[in-house]
Amino acid sequence: MKILLTTVFDYPHAGGLSTHVTTLKAGLEARGHEVDVLSFSDISPLQQKLFAKGPSFVLNKLSKGSGIIWSHQVRQKMLYGLIQKHKAKGYDIINAQEVFATLASVESGIPTVTTVHGYMTYEAISRGSVVEDSPQAHYLLQKEIEAYTKTRKIITVDQRIKDYVLKQAGVEATAIRNFIDVNGFKPDKENRLSYRQKHGFAEDTNIIFVPRRLTKKNGVIYPVLALPQVLEKYPNTMLVYAGMGEALGELKSLIQEKGLGEKVKLLGAIPHELIKEFYALSDIVLVPSIHSAGVEEATSISALEAMGSGSPLIASAVGGLKEIVSHEKDGLLVEERNVDQLAQAMIYLLDHPEVGQKLAEHARRKIEDEYSHLAAAKKYEEIYLAALQQ
């Protein structure tokens, strides 16, 4: 098949959706399909600024959420224009990656399947981009329902999102949990020292890695709150964050307030390929997600990557994390927002590195058995074929 993956966001970018697209593309191509991606990045920077980003910034100043809606509407129109320009390639099907990409793709007339990665309206509320129960929030929810009812098939990345789509739009979806490239993300601990030298970390530093977009639902403040307890016993410990987001300012203020400037490193958004080196050089990986405005973590790609990469994982017992992590077998689960539990879990793994190693070994086996991108691509292919028969 000739398959087109579409998104109204930038591609590639630092984030789970972009990672999903890259990994799905690799899996589908390995099965012999031809796969292209069209995204907002295919629009010229000048057009992006003049028609989407600039007006969105101004409108948000006038009324919170209005600029977000404007931007989504413009991105939808621009993506539709891109699809029209590329229709001559003869795509059999489009797999849209979110609501406004779905609306653009359906309008093109090419059979469309939608992957739902989250709760668009409620995530916007959680980020503070839209006010709860505002006209903007109602508009976004209406667009979600429109997209879910117009697309031929829906894939969700976990069971809760499947239930959400059914509740909001009355449409039955298929849940296919997130996945990773099991060949790309694999244990690489033999290069641990060379990666530490490359990135400026001492050999004897305990590196605790937080590969999270800096947004409220990802619970990124809690590792900083827990760090002082860890430092009491292990003063040579450092927190390393990889990601950007609207919580950056709050995180920086908290680091300064706690006097942890030399113990926390903020890498910002780094290339996905480089993330692999940080998994390899780390002693522990944290995914400290929380419930926020009704939103909870799906099948976290960061958690899957950590589990595939040979570093022990500590995650919050919320959402899809409870599905993928078996407590004390292939990772540790802690209560969300519980600073003491998080600190004690980190201290426990630093006290008992052999336990962490066993957790990591079991996690790797689980990833190979249950979360391979090749197995997931086969499931996607089956959904595409079913959609084409409608």
Q: Mind listing the pLDDT tens digit for each residue in 69-109? A: 999 999 999 999 999 999 999 999 999 999 999 999 999 99
Residue 166 has a CB neighbour count (10 Å cut-off) of 15
User: H helices within the chain, ranges in order?
Assistant: 16-30, 45-47, 54-62, 66-86, 99-107, 120-127, 135-150, 159-169, 192-199, 221-233, 248-257, 272-281, 301-309, 321-324, 339-351, 353-370, 373-388
Sorted by where each begins, the domain ranges of the chain are 2-179+372-388, 189-370
Cα distance between residue 265 and residue 262, in whole Å: 8
| pLDDT on residue 323 | 85
Question: CATH second-level architecture of 2-179+372-388?
Answer: 3-Layer(aba) Sandwich (3.40)
Residue 123 corresponds to which amino acid?
Answer: E
| pLDDT on residue 299 | 74
Place of tokens 């960061």: 302
**Which parts of the chain sit beneath pLDDT 70?**
14, 293
| pLDDT on residue 273 | 84
| pLDDT on residue 61 | 87
- Whole-model pTM: value is 0.82
Cα distance between residue 145 and residue 122, in whole Å: 13
Helix axes 120-127, 135-150, angle to 10 degrees: 150
| pLDDT on residue 319 | 85
Q: Which residues contact 335 (CB under 8 A, 6 or more apart)?
A: 316, 317, 341
At 175-184, the pLDDT tens digits run 999 999 998 8
Sheet with 237-241: strands ordered across: 264-266, 237-241, 206-210, 284-287, 313-316, 332-334
For 87, the 3-state DSSP assignment is helix
Asked if 18 contacts 117 with a C-beta cutoff of 8 angstroms, the reply is no
Residue 226 tokens read as 């827990």
Domains 2-179+372-388 and 189-370 share a fold: yes
Q: Are strands 264-266 and 284-287 parallel, antiparallel or unpaired?
A: unpaired
Distances in Å between the alpha carbon of 51 and those of 54, 59, 79, 100, 106? 7, 12, 13, 16, 22
CATH code, 189-370 = 3.40.50.2000
Residues in the chain: 390
